[in-house]
Amino acid sequence: MTETVTTDADQATSAETFQTLNPATGEVLATLPVESAQQIAGKLADARAAQQWWAQIGFGARKERLLKWRTAISARIEEIAEVIHREGGKPLDDARLEVILAVEHIDWAAKNARKVLGRRNVSPGMLLANYAASVSHVPYGVVGVIGPWNYPVFTPMGSIAYALAAGNTVLFKPSEYTPLVGKWLVESISEVVPEHPVLQLVTGLGQTGADLCTSGVDKIAFTGSTGTGKKVMAACAQNLTPVLMECGGKDVLIVDEDADVPAAVDAAVFGGFSNAGQTCIGTERVYAHEKVYDDVVARLAETARSLVPGDDTGASYGPMTMPSQLDIVRRHVDDALDRGARAVVGGRDSVGERYVAPVVLADVPEDSLAVTEETFGPTITVGKFATVDEAIKKANATRYGLGAAVFSKSRGELIAERLRTGMVSINSVVSFAGMASLPFGGVGDSGFGRIHGADGLREFARAQSIARLRVPIPLNVTSLARRPGMLKMLGKAVAKRFGA
């Protein structure tokens, strides 16, 4: 059923609209307003007023509200999973999984905000031992969260829950492909926090995101492609608005010679094909030790061939959510095959009009697009290595650096520590994303800053330091009335202390 959605009372001023579709069928699900810079300014003013209240009620009251929200979402997992499935195309089970993970994050952020951000005493140091020193982390104010469509609940929640727990209010601009999911989230929190709009929806297209960046919000938390991330940074530079960048990835899965090969292949198939490969931390490259390479390729081929993309309950994964992604996947597969790669499963014909059948490519030149660029489709490349050094070199030969997985019985940590990525799973895949205590984020073209965990809370707060004079002493160096020779004497004492 098609609905026309308004996001607030002043929608009448929104001349332009856009449609959100079911990517499996093309059915129009809703028509929504493209909000203008002026409308964003109005919402920002409301968010500022709400933030005064939200900050002032303190950690305890915020925790109580956020835990209510967690419970409310948990009670309606089936309902939101259905919205995700219809608007994003992924199978219902995948939709349920992302909601389950998201509520874990709300729970953790709510319960840990005071401990991580609350005021704590620190040592003033010997030089100023007559002072008391303390630091606390105070909210930025209003945070703009710009989200992607591939995990429309889990991904923005990594910013929203942590920003709210820290005492900020949020303006949330979901992807134009999943605005109804964003709307559901905003409505669900307004039921448990009815007093003020602590989380508001901003709908529209790319320009709306750009307008949010220059609206005067106090921080932007962006999740999306590296290319858009650069535009967001440039826009935010205008007002020196701080940014968190969660961008694309080209994650690797390494299968060592002593690995449990069936488990590694099962993980590679989940990491590479679930959600049609449209996962920032999806497995796009597999490197297997030469002793297990043939076994890995054979098992990968067998399992990948058994996958069935579709829209029904038995489907392994759904359609490509964003039609333009089909061209990118096609270009990467064609480029690899043109350069001599071998299609172990699928090939050029695998890319259809809405769906992409599984593709496994072997003998892919390391400089081909399928190895160097984010494909974001149900494709995997498989390569070989002889030594750990070679595996690390190949794994790290990318501008991206988001997540990775290592399968090894004896040297998982050793390999993991040498990977240039923000996160690594050992003998599993993407497991770090489900652990709310672990920071999540990348390096290089995958971005910077962290969501999740204590670092994720600090990302949405600024440190405020306080130094309090406890006991006045005659040796006051910050007074122009200080005694002549005092600093010379102090210099000698410092030199002695540091062994000069």
Instruction: State the residues that interact with ligand NDP by CB under 6 A.
Output: 146-151, 155, 173, 175-177, 205-206, 209-210, 213, 223-225, 228, 231-232, 246-249, 280, 322, 374, 376, 402, 442, 446-447
Nearest Cα to Cα of residue 29 among 352, 445, 321: 321
Residue among 26 and 227 whose Cβ is closer to ligand NDP = 227
Instruction: Say whether 82 is catalytic.
Output: no
- Tell me if residue 280 is catalytic: yes
CB of 298 to ligand NDP, least distance (A): 30
Work out how close the CB of 222 gets to ligand NDP at its nearest, in angstroms, rounded to a whole number. 7
Burial class (CB within 10 angstroms; exposed 0-12, middle 13-18, buried 19+) of 334: middle
Q: How far is the CB of 413 from ligand NDP (least distance, A)?
A: 24
- How far, in Å, CA of 420 to CA of 433, rounded? 17
Q: Which residue is nearest to ligand NDP (CB)?
A: 209
Residue (139 or 456) nearer to ligand NDP, CB = 456
The rounded distance, in Å, linking the Cα atoms of 219 and 141 is 8
Give whole-number Cα distances, 368 to 194, 272, 318, 365, in Å.
53, 18, 26, 6
Cβ partners under 8 Å of residue 461, min gap 6? 117, 137, 138, 139, 140, 166, 167, 168
CB of 173 to ligand NDP, least distance (A): 6
Q: Which of 213, 236, 247, 280 is catalytic?
A: 280
* Residue 130 DSSP symbol: T
- As a whole number of angstroms, the distance between CA 39 and CA 13 comes to 8
> Rounded CA gap, 231 and 422, in Å?
22
Least distance CB 210 / ligand NDP (angstroms): 4
- Judged by beta carbon, residue 201 or residue 232, the one nearer ligand NDP is 232
Q: Rounded to an integer, what distance in angstroms lies between the CA atom of residue 355 and that of residue 441? A: 29
Q: Pick the closer one to ligand NDP by CB: 87 or 374.
A: 374
Residue partners of 253: CB distance under 8 A and separation at least 6 = 264, 267, 268, 271, 283, 285, 286, 287, 404, 405, 406, 407, 429
Spot the catalytic one: 35, 87, 104, 246: 246
Return the number of the residue (301 or 402) whose C-beta is nearest ligand NDP.
Answer: 402
Residue numbers annotated as active site: 246, 280
